[in-house]
Chain A
């Protein structure tokens, strides 16, 4: 890895330093055809930091998140993880992605596999764990999300909240250093939101670097170290939750918050 990027020599050191930049986005632009969705994003996420991204629908939150693990091709600008520039063609994206877990709004569990298989697939396939180890690890994770008894169930038999908790366990199975959540609770019935937030909250307190795109303002305020407000493809304002929610400096932020709070 270190020999594939110019910032290589720094990597090791940055990794070990808490509070140092883990993800660095600069001058990021993204267009879908004529639709210029991200219009110059500069964002740094430090190790162990929990960043909540909020903003009106269509402002580009999901797109930004998906650029962080290059599920989306970027149009221009750079996205660096641990100093490795993901826009560099030479970078092995699969290796980088192993360190970045992602949780989707619609869970995206593999319907033809059991819960256990969903979770053990990546560690086994990527040679990270032996099957027996992977299974033990999966059970451990399922216990952590409170679903140990569902190991042999098929996703179709689970409730939305259970599915999302399995999805989180699946992402955690690769021991990621960063977790990305894209509206992890917005497809859930209200009574199931709590159980999922509980799991995410647990992760946040464990010191995981996290980026949460969310509509749950209360939750964002509670768990995040920093809140980023996006509108029309740019970051309008960012800051500590108390500041941003309590004392927004931008008119558009105030406007948005007045509608959602």
Chain B
């Protein structure tokens, strides 16, 4: 899964636990309507009522407990101010993010405000208020760092928390600025990484950064804020519309009377955004003062739903509506020329048009010649089948025929998976043939660009979507390289407003209707998970095995050395060995890993990469247990054995080597095997210091796919198999030894 997809599919992630509910949301699905913008309904609808509001327990600066034990934070202050303004009362229940979301689904709470990103996924289950906060990620470095801009990060490391928007952002610019990513599983670890010098910079949500700087964390933000998903207040879909509209009105009012700004400044100080910037765009101003800028835009003749002729003869479509909206929002004018795709591109190169917007996929090839705006649409190929078809997933295509249009992405995709799912491909030369083939029963379905399919469905084509949208390209508007930078800037700014305000969703929904939402998430089984992610899993497995091997061998050596020291006649040796055992048995391995990875470099300046640190941690930890195994194994041998040997004149070491140890090892073997298995399982803990072992990889896959049940099952089976093999091998060895 690439990061773009990850980002597109979800907002702020709240650890593994969030996945369960996210999957639940995805399954509940259904419904369409975009979030209404600021509605101007009277407050009286809900005045006097009490609403139960679920929230997170701690997500500073949005919700947290102050010294007097009261829940405060941007969310809390905002919802109270809105309630005041609208004359209703709130009963706030801090339940934790996942619990709050679940409580909302079962109607235990009326609404949730919890720094919750408005995502397409969630919009299937919830209605959101207008965005009340525009989050976004930003980079930060130590206050005393030499790094002043992103350019200074060349050759440095940037700490990110896995699966977050920050991680996607950092990934997306890592090559450009020449830094490396240090992927960690907890936010706190990223801060630790910067403090300890493991990383030069970190990426986090800017409000979190702003707040922590406000709280005296010695950091400094660098680079620009990357706008992320907006936060909204959620209610169950189709329910509580009055509450939602009261909230929207209230938000507008407190933005106007200054309360909103007061709240933001209270928590974010200098980093506080302007309330007007957050609330105002949600109305998607289309009356911006004219800048006098005028652009000639080339487009396709017909490419529904992006550009085609509307009922009144005017060119409409997603591209057109978006472009016009953005022009109005940013105060420029456009003249649209329907040239056909190829002609439009040539016209652009010839300088006959200023820009092209035509469902144009951003490719490396094209980027050599053109500058693109931010992507405004994620496209992709999907399977369409007749509404009453039994086909529910690719697996049902076994033995069937699927239609494609020649030379399309749909054909490429179909060919690539036809063997896997056992279907035949029927190649048509044009779209109508393809659709007709399906309607006539010559094929059970067809692969087509998903917006086209979805648009058709919204138009009543009688089809439905099956399976996932297969990753395709992103559309952007293009200008000639190095020219018309103003257009790019204006378009991007307008696009951001359009997205933040819900205008973008309105446009897309106008054409794609319920199509996108109903893109049924057919749950892939574990075999598809295995086949898709096998290379990644294998890579993780490699690190798991490697770390285990290194640790087991090292622990064995450590165990023997310290085991002998434990029973040495020299007191200092005994003390050292005992201290070693007590320290490493007496502290959790997680703390040891953190210590070696973060604290040690901070204290001594010695830095390890995550594999070295991880293997070292495991070795030292397992070594402590091995020490005790060796010691007790030696001591379990009848002392008469050593006496008999010594009485013959054999020395201490000869006695150990020839008489005591062979017997001791026999006693130790089961404990060795046991420790080996524990060590293997302990490798999974090293994901916290970003060692890309099996568990880490599985978390990554889950983060981008939500397939927690499937992925975890596969991973559990891999571990189980590995450990079973290890046990069988050990049993064999043991038998050999005992023979």
Given contacts A112-B663, A125-B658, contact A174 B648 (CB under 8 A): yes
Could you say which residues of chain A place their CB within 8 Å of the CB of B662? 112
The one of A98, A100, A102, A110 in contact with B641, judged by C-beta atoms closer than 8 angstroms, is A110
Docked Cα-Cα span, A94 to B647, in Å, equals: 8
Closest to B657 in A: A125
Q: CB distance A97 to B643 under 8 Å? A: no
Query: How many whole Å from A59's CB to the nearest CB in chain B?
Result: 21
Closest to A167 in B: B644
Q: CB distance A101 to B647 under 8 Å? A: yes
Assess whether B524 is interfacial by the CB under 8 Å rule.
no
Q: CB distance B640 to A104 under 8 Å? A: yes
Chain B residues 632 to 678 lying within 8 A of chain A, measured CB to CB, are 638, 640-641, 643-651, 654, 658-659, 662-663, 666
Chain A residues 87 to 103 lying within 8 A of chain B, measured CB to CB, are 94-102
Assess whether A147 is interfacial by the CB under 8 Å rule.
no
Q: CB distance B649 to A108 under 8 Å? A: no
Docked Cα-Cα span, A108 to B638, in Å, equals: 9
Could you say which residues of chain A place their CB within 8 Å of the CB of B644? 102, 104, 108-110, 167, 170
Given contacts A94-B651, A108-B638, A126-B649, contact A121 B643 (CB under 8 A): no
Could you say which residues of chain B place their CB within 8 Å of the CB of A97? 646-649
Assess whether A197 is interfacial by the CB under 8 Å rule.
no
Give how many A residues have a beta carbon under 8 Å from the other chain's beta carbons. 26
Q: CB distance B649 to A98 under 8 Å? A: yes
Docked Cα-Cα span, A108 to B644, in Å, equals: 6
Q: CB distance B643 to A71 under 8 Å? A: yes
Chain A 120-145: CB-based contact to B (< 8 A → 1; otherwise 0): 01100110000000000000000000
Closest to A170 in B: B648
Docked Cα-Cα span, A69 to B647, in Å, equals: 7
Query: How many whole Å from A84's CB to the nearest CB in chain B?
Result: 14
Q: CB distance B646 to A122 under 8 Å? A: no
Assess whether A111 is interfacial by the CB under 8 Å rule.
yes
Docked Cα-Cα span, A27 to B648, in Å, equals: 26
Closest to B666 in A: A112
Could you say which residues of chain B place their CB within 8 Å of the CB of A115? none
Assess whether A171 is interfacial by the CB under 8 Å rule.
yes
Could you say which residues of chain A place their CB within 8 Å of the CB of B638? 108
Query: How many whole Å from A210's CB to the nearest CB in chain B?
Result: 15
Could you say which residues of chain A place their CB within 8 Å of the CB of B663? 111-112
Docked Cα-Cα span, A103 to B646, in Å, equals: 12
Docked Cα-Cα span, A106 to B659, in Å, equals: 16
Query: How many whole Å from A116's CB to the nearest CB in chain B?
Result: 14
Could you say which residues of chain B place their CB within 8 Å of the CB of A104? 640, 643-644
Docked Cα-Cα span, A122 to B648, in Å, equals: 6
The one of A94, A109, A110 in contact with B649, judged by C-beta atoms closer than 8 angstroms, is A94
Q: CB distance A102 to B649 under 8 Å? A: no
Could you say which residues of chain B place their CB within 8 Å of the CB of A96? 649
Query: How many whole Å from A256's CB to the nearest CB in chain B?
Result: 28
Given contacts A108-B638, A111-B663, contact A171 B648 (CB under 8 A): yes
Docked Cα-Cα span, A108 to B643, in Å, equals: 8
Q: CB distance B641 to A108 under 8 Å? A: yes
Q: CB distance B651 to A110 under 8 Å? A: no
Q: CB distance A125 to B647 under 8 Å? A: no
Could you say which residues of chain A place their CB within 8 Å of the CB of B646? 71, 94, 97
Query: How many whole Å from A110's CB to the nearest CB in chain B?
Result: 6
Closest to B662 in A: A112
Closest to B654 in A: A125
Docked Cα-Cα span, A121 to B646, in Å, equals: 12
Closest to B649 in A: A98
Most chain A CB within 10 A, of B649, B650, B658, is at: B649
Given contacts A106-B640, A108-B638, contact A121 B650 (CB under 8 A): yes
Docked Cα-Cα span, A98 to B648, in Å, equals: 6
Chain A residues 41 to 96 lying within 8 A of chain B, measured CB to CB, are 69, 71, 94-96
Q: CB distance B649 to A122 under 8 Å? A: yes
Q: CB distance A174 to B649 under 8 Å? A: yes
Could you say which residues of chain A place their CB within 8 Å of the CB of B641? 108, 110
Docked Cα-Cα span, A29 to B645, in Å, equals: 25
Chain A residues 160 to 181 lying within 8 A of chain B, measured CB to CB, are 167, 170-171, 174
Chain A 167-205: CB-based contact to B (< 8 A → 1; otherwise 0): 100110010000000000000000000000000000000
Q: What are 9 A-B contacts with C-beta separation under 8 Å?
A: A99-B649, A102-B647, A108-B644, A109-B644, A110-B644, A122-B648, A122-B650, A125-B650, A126-B649
Top 7 closest pairs, chain A to chain B, by CB: A98-B649, A108-B644, A122-B648, A102-B647, A108-B640, A97-B649, A112-B662
Which B residues are within 8 Å of any A CB, using their own CB? 638, 640-641, 643-651, 654, 658-659, 662-663, 666
Further contacts, 11 of them, CB under 8 A, given A108-B644, A121-B650, A171-B647: A94-B646, A94-B650, A98-B648, A101-B648, A102-B647, A104-B643, A122-B645, A125-B658, A170-B644, A170-B648, A174-B649
Which A residues are within 8 Å of any B CB, using their own CB? 69, 71, 94-102, 104, 106, 108-112, 121-122, 125-126, 167, 170-171, 174
